[in-house]
Amino acid sequence: MSTPQPSAVSLPAWEPAVALDAPASARLAAGTFKAALPTLAVVRVTGTDARTFLHGQFAADVKGLAAGQSVLSAWCSAQGRVLFLPRICALDDHFDILVSRVQTAKFVQRLRMFVLRAQVAITETADCVFGFAAADEAGLPAPGALAATADTIVLRSAATRPRCLVYGTADAIARAWDARPEPAAQTAAWTLLDIDDGIPDFDPALADQLLPQNLNLDAGPGISFTKGCYPGQEVIARLKYRGQVKSRLMRGTLGPGPDVPPGTKLYAPDDASGKTLGTVIATAPDAAGGRAVLAVVDIERGGAAPVALGAPGGERLRFAPAPGWPA
């Protein structure tokens, strides 16, 4: 049987109109807003073996994930490097996985390669996603939990502030969007909150470069060190018990300018050796007119001295630990 090839990136069937520009959207991030998230897609996994199958693929304890709960985890190579950063949602009779839209076809193709005789079906849905930051926690699920409405799923972020992801069919999401009272902002406002909260996005340019500990997944349930085999487990466990995590997520600020592509390298200023000190994960306009940066940075350099963006002679910036470092 021939191996199916990844299809072109599917576009969401729903996209709201947003009048605000990026700076105005960034200013909304300090309060309440809603934002379409066309960068996310939903993959559905069904079948009697779904829980066991996913448990054997991802770094989290999927067997222990109760219905109505979610976890941001990693799917890694045999060398322990992160290939995908799935948000796994356990429902009563299936699992939904939120993953970067540009990676969805490759994610589904790779997942199907490991099904073998398991009673599992994997489907790329046409569901759409938006996020909202609310004024308070009234009526919201607990952090990390899900709540099902008649036709959507509401997923509470594990971040400290009350914000949620909502996903469902295009028609259902259009109705849910209209029902939310928050002002509409650009997607970058949501990215800014993720940067501030230390929640990593994952671009294909980052695949097979970072260990899950570099993304602080060991600070919570994203990695289980007590479960059985999964791809990369030996390397990931060795780092915990015998090694030291040398780089972690940090937050920095740049002046005005364009977005910095994910995967851009960081260097010691004016260092001719070309040794890299880190990797940019995401950037977004901030409320002050500059750019917020989330990056994996060498722990010894972060906050102690400036680093250079893109080249040893590049723009300088300083970093401080992002929220979510292990205690």
Grouping H, G, I as helix, E, B as strand and the rest as coil, residue 235 is helix
Note the pTM of the prediction, 2 decimals.
Answer: 0.92
Provide CATH code, domain 246-322. 2.40.30.110
Neighbour order of strands in the sheet with 95-100? 70-72, 87-90, 95-100, 40-46, 121-124
Percent of the chain beyond pLDDT 70? Answer: 94
- Nearest one of 185, 259, 187, 190 to 25, comparing CA atoms: 185
* Average pLDDT for the chain: 91
1: pLDDT confidence band, cut at 50, 70 and 90?
very low
d(CA 164, CA 118): 33
Using the predicted structure, report yes or no on whether residue 95 has a pLDDT greater than 80: yes
pLDDT number for residue 242: 83
Which element (helix H / strand E) includes 78?
A: none
User: CA 70: distance to chain centroid?
Assistant: 13
Q: Do 250 and 297 touch, CB atoms closer than 8 A?
A: yes
Task: DSSP letter for 116, please.
Answer: T
Q: Do 268 and 308 touch, CB atoms closer than 8 A?
A: yes
User: CA 28: distance to chain centroid?
Assistant: 21
Beta bridge partners of 142: none
Instruction: Work out the number of other CB atoms within 10 angstroms of the CB of residue 286.
Output: 23
CATH 3.30.1360.120 fits 22-197, yes or no: yes
Q: What is the 3-state secondary structure (H, E, C) of 244-295?
A: CCCEEEEEEEECCCCCCCCCCEEECCCCCCCCEEEEEEEEEECCCCCEEEEE
Domain with CATH 3.30.1360.120 in the chain: 22-197
* Mean pLDDT across 90-101: 97
Domain with CATH 2.40.30.110 in the chain: 246-322
48: pLDDT confidence band, cut at 50, 70 and 90?
very high
pLDDT tens-digit readout, 227-267? 989 999 999 999 988 878 999 999 999 999 988 999 999 99
Instruction: Work out the number of other CB atoms within 10 angstroms of the CB of residue 113.
Output: 10
Q: Do 98 and 120 touch, CB atoms closer than 8 A?
A: no
6: pLDDT confidence band, cut at 50, 70 and 90?
very low
pLDDT number for residue 23: 73
pLDDT tens-digit readout, 159-205? 778 999 999 999 999 999 999 999 999 999 999 999 999 999 889 99
pLDDT number for residue 9: 55
pLDDT number for residue 5: 42
Which element (helix H / strand E) includes 75?
A: strand 75-76
pLDDT number for residue 270: 83
Between 288 and 98, name the one with better pLDDT: 98
pLDDT number for residue 201: 87
Using the predicted structure, report yes or no on whether residue 4 has a pLDDT greater than 70: no
Torsion sign (Cα): 90, 199, 42, 119: negative
3: pLDDT confidence band, cut at 50, 70 and 90?
very low
pLDDT tens-digit readout, 10-46? 666 677 877 677 777 777 777 899 999 999 999 999 9
Q: Which two tokens stand for residue 282?
A: 């995401």
- Nearest one of 254, 247, 324, 301 to 282, comparing CA atoms: 254
